[in-house]
Structure 1
Amino acid sequence: MDSRDKHQTEKNHHLIQAMCHAIDGIIQVLREERNMRYHLLAACLAIIMSILLHISAMEWLWILLAIFVVFTSEFLNTVTEAVTDLIVDHHYELNVKKAKDVAAGGVLISAIFSVLVGLIIFIPRILAIIR
């Protein structure tokens, strides 16, 4: 049996098959990427705060947007790292460094966006409780 018999090399033929591969990818990122676990923890905290502070439907949309923007950017950063490492076989290359730095910068920008969204939504509600 050669490797073509053990691993899928063609497109998914069914939606269920595609969904299983997508779930495998999510699990792999959560297992292997420390920063993704931090993002997941922050998302859980934001959701708990949102529930406790009874935010509006519009505010929920902003919180969920912020969460999924960070998740998406972290996934794209992970893809960038994996593909560039594959191309250069884990050797230093200036263009690979640039690609990785830009992808990481995208994650940072999305995280800053998320923090700002959280501050704008949560600070007034927390201050109202404290007063």
Structure 2
Amino acid sequence: MRSDGSALNLRRWWRSAGFAWAGIRHAYRSQANFRIEVWAGVLALVVAALLRAPLAPVALACALVLGLELVNTALEAVVDLASPELHPLAKVAKDAAAGAVLIASAGALVVGLVVLLPPLWAWVGGWG
């Protein structure tokens, strides 16, 4: 289907959003790490809401991890398509993409600790 050239075409946007959701559904169904990261993010957001901690940094950290996991999934699929046999450069590409997810996950953990530990500590301290 050819584009009509308008970035503001609602039908075009809706169609693109459908493709994006298909990619997210595929990653959720096929990637165990993505499922773990989705539910860890949901848990972090629920805890932040219950503790009345700032949601924005937690949500952004979760979005970064999930977005990079989707990019990692896409890159792995393209590398597997382009290089079905083992190749050192294919390994480099896959490892680097996985490394990006690892770094984002470590950063998200730090954000979670910085944002959630103080109100959690205050809440637990209020028991005594």
The TM-score with structure 2 as length reference comes to: 0.87
User: Which deviates the most, 32-41 or 120-129?
Assistant: 120-129
- Tell me the equivalent position of 1:40: 38
Q: Is 2:98 the counterpart of 1:100?
A: no
For structure 2, the 5+ residue unaligned runs are 5-11
Q: 1:118 to 1:39 in 2, by over 3 A?
A: same
Letter in 1 for 2:31: E
Matches within 5 A, 1:20-59: 20-55=18-53, 59=54
Task: Report what 1:113 is aligned to.
Answer: 107
Q: 1:87 to 1:11 in 2, by over 3 A?
A: farther
C-alpha distance in 2 between matches for 1:79 and 1:64: 22
In 2: Cα distance, 1:120 partner to 1:36 partner:
23
Aligned residues: 118
Structure 1 position 79, deviation (Å): 1.0
In structure 2, what is the Cα distance between the partners aligned to 1:11 and 1:68?
A: 31
Paired residue type of 2:105: A
Two-structure CA RMSD over aligned residues (Å)? 1.3
Gaps of 5+ in 1: 1-9
Aligned twin of 2:7? none
Write the distance in 1 (CA, Å) between the matches of 2:58 and 2:43: 11
TM-score when normalising by structure 1:
0.85
Identity of aligned residues (%): 31
1:80 partnered with 2:75: yes
Mapped pair 1:62 → 2:57? yes
Q: CA 1:48/1:12 → structure 2, altered by over 3 Å: closer, same or farther? A: farther
